[in-house]
Structure 1
Amino acid sequence: MDTNQTVPLGQINHIFPPLNYEQHPEDLELQKTQEDPASTIINVHSYEPPAKDFLVWSVFNTLYMNFCCLGFMALVFSVKARDRKVVGDLNGARSYGSTAKCLNIFALIFSLLLTILLISLMATGIMFAT
């Protein structure tokens, strides 16, 4: 055949026969997976923050800022929240923890206001006036 001649596409296989290669087992598995695509399962877990019990804050408020026993009550609810968390009742632990947090906030605010009031009364001379 002359090199200047064009060969129709149908006759190319007769001129250049396809090479016969052996396929490796990995290639056969790859072909099978391409023919039968496997489904992929993705598990999405929602993140739930752990229940807080505010135990350290409650102990601090009980020892130092126990205005009208609010610090002690916060300590009681903090212990209940910790107990619920240990048992596995996260909703109960969150509920008791939220109550303990509110009681701690109120105990802190009232104790700070009382301290500021006492300092201002002593500074103005109204308290301890002789």
Structure 2
Amino acid sequence: MEPCVSVNMRPYDVKIQGGTASLYTYPLGVVVPPPKDYVLWSMFNFSFMNVCCLGFAALVYSIKTRDAKVIGDREIGVLNSKKAKRCNIAATVLGILVFILICVMIGLVVAAYQDKLLQMMEDFWVQLETTFSGNAI
């Protein structure tokens, strides 16, 4: 039979022979912090600002960063963390620009049809007045 191997799924601290140490402790005693995974920012962008699927790409890279933390591969984690951050920045900026563009376009449409809307409302009230004044007792 093959021996069972358990994998610690917590990416922050692990217990090593009674003490705690970071996953990225090097032999010289230098402790390097784990790379940031931008999961919450990625989930926000995926949910609300998914312009050109950049929010989805950011979420994928954030999850890959977490996976790299779990297995202890710092280089891959840093690379995926940078990609997640760039995708999040691009998704946020493009999402805000698209929101502003939509607001401007709605404003332009309302301004262009303002006279027509006012005329339609005036015609409606005149028609309503003539309809009910002819049937008055």
Give me the TM-score of the superposition, normalised by structure 2: 0.57
Q: Aligned to 2:35, what secondary structure does the other structure show? A: coil
* The one of 76, 101, 114 aligned to 2:98: 114
Q: Distance in 1 between matches of 2:111 and 2:60?
A: 35
Give me the TM-score of the superposition, normalised by structure 1: 0.60
- Post-superposition Cα deviations, 1:8-41, rounded to whole Å, max 9, x if no partner, equal xxxxxxxxxxxxxxxxxxxxxxxxxxxxxxxxxx
Greater strand proportion: 2
Superposition deviation, residue 49 in structure 1: 2.8
Superposition deviation, residue 71 in structure 1: 0.3
Q: Which ranges of structure 2 fall in alignment gaps of 5 or more residues?
A: 1-27, 117-137
* The one of 69, 90, 95 aligned to 1:85: 69
Bigger CA radius of gyration: 1
Q: Which ranges of structure 1 fall in alignment gaps of 5 or more residues?
A: 1-43
Match of 1:101 in 2: 85
Partners of 1:51 and 1:93 within 8 A in 2: yes
Superposition deviation, residue 127 in structure 1: 8.8
Q: Distance in 2 between matches of 1:80 and 1:89?
A: 11
Moved over 4 A (4+): 126-130
Match of 1:50 in 2: 34
Output the aligned Cα RMSD: 2.3
- Post-superposition Cα deviations, 1:62-111, rounded to whole Å, max 9, x if no partner, equal 01110011000111111111000100001110110110010000001001
